[in-house]
Amino acid sequence: MKKPKWRSLTAFLLIVALLITVTGCGSQKTSTEEAIKVGVILPLTGSEAIFGNMEKNAFEMAYEELKAAGKTTIGGKEIKLLFEDDQGKQDVAKSATEKLVNQDKVVMLSGAYSSASTNVIAGAAQSMTMPFLIATGSADDITKKGWQWVFRGTAAPASKYTTSLWEMIAQVIKPQTVAIVYESTDFGKSSAKSFKAEAEKRGIKIVYDQPYESGAIDFKPMLAKVKNVNPDMVFAVSYLMDASMIVKQSKELDFNTKLFVGGGAGYTLPEFRENAGEASENIASSTLWVPTVTWPGAKEFFEKYKQKYGKEPDYHGAQAYGTMCIIGDALNRANDLSNTSIQKALKETDMMTVMGPIKFEDWEGYTNQNKPYSYVVQWQKGKLEVIWPEKVKSAPYVYPVPNWKDRN
């Protein structure tokens, strides 16, 4: 029995419609494949998420501004940011790197918060000849391995966080003794190692030098030992929660020192003040950026971020914002989207950002490393004030700081 012709016609039309639909999906997929994909790896969950999400916000804000300026479309293709969450874990960071390069076919990598994750991503990027622009990871050795595919612009080597601090130490603090407290991470160890070496070179006696395991709850046994050696100054390297707990428990133990200085990281975040409360008063820290710096766009970035996200960014947000601007600049200057062209464009970078001027240079054993600026800040009446260098200070320094019982 023959099928009616109308049934055959209906079947034919259904097949045509199906083909059109498939072709449409295929066109969308091709469009995605033709995007200029940039992989950004950050800790969006886990203990470091507060930093990762601040940086993601700043990446996206800079991207939106570049797009409005017509700088995200190159040769008819749109730059697309692909975010991956490394959860602050090295193995996850490595998997994210491999996925972005092998599966997503990104043209370059960026992001990376903790030094431990950054080192893993950098090593993988070098082995895969993939340009990698670091946003934050600061352990000195990351850019001291001669890696030609790894660039660090808005982030400083950990040992350079304290450049301005050492000026203040020489001219104001002049300690005879110092205690070094730091978390047992790449960033913590790198910061402590360089600080110790400089202190010894200047004849300052190290009376305590011990790492601790990040994420501890009770720091009082360690702080009791530090109190017992009675240092003139404490230099501490910690992420947010540890930093908050350490100063709160120092107050509870009535451990007094002339100046407590953090090595950046957790001691500069607005959440540090929220978590530590009154114990944050007069705590100082090294930092790489403040919203009052004179770099073009720095103040505007701070205000726009605060208005858009309802929170104040610290130097981590500025690093990510500046990093996205560098990415946009390099991709627009590259001869093509090959890895070698992007590598060359990054190497030839010479631009101003909210973090200051950016040039990737080889110096003091570093490769593709920008020369950074640093500042000393101090929490005063709930506000983070710049106290050094004096020519850019927003408030006079408080030194020596009053004992806990005498602080308002």
Phi, psi of 45, deg, nearest 5: -135, 165
Q: What is the pLDDT of residues 261-312, one digit of tens each?
A: 998 778 988 889 999 999 999 999 999 998 888 899 999 999 999 999 999 9
* 35-155+294-369 and 160-287+375-406 in the same fold: yes
Phi, psi of 41, deg, nearest 5: -105, 120
Closest CA to 320 of 159, 134, 118, 165: 134
Q: What is the CATH number assigned to the segment(s) 160-287+375-406? A: 3.40.50.2300
Q: What is the pLDDT of residues 331-343, one digit of tens each?
A: 999 999 999 999 9
Rounded distance between C-alpha atoms, residue 408 and residue 400, angstroms? 15
Q: How confident is the model at residue 72 (pLDDT cuts 50, 70, 90)?
A: very high
Q: What is the pLDDT of residues 78-124, one digit of tens each?
A: 999 999 999 999 999 999 999 999 999 999 999 999 999 999 999 99
Q: Is residue 399 exposed (0-12), middle (13-18) or buried (19+ Cβ within 10 Å)? A: middle
What residue ranges do the domains of the chain occupy?
35-155+294-369, 160-287+375-406
Tokens standing for residue 161: 């966080």
Would the pTM of this model clear 0.85, i.e. be above it? no
Classify the phi-psi angles of 283: left when phi > 0, otherwise alpha if psi is within -120 to 50, otherwise beta. beta
Q: What is the CATH number assigned to the segment(s) 35-155+294-369? A: 3.40.50.2300
For range 70-83, the mean pLDDT: 96
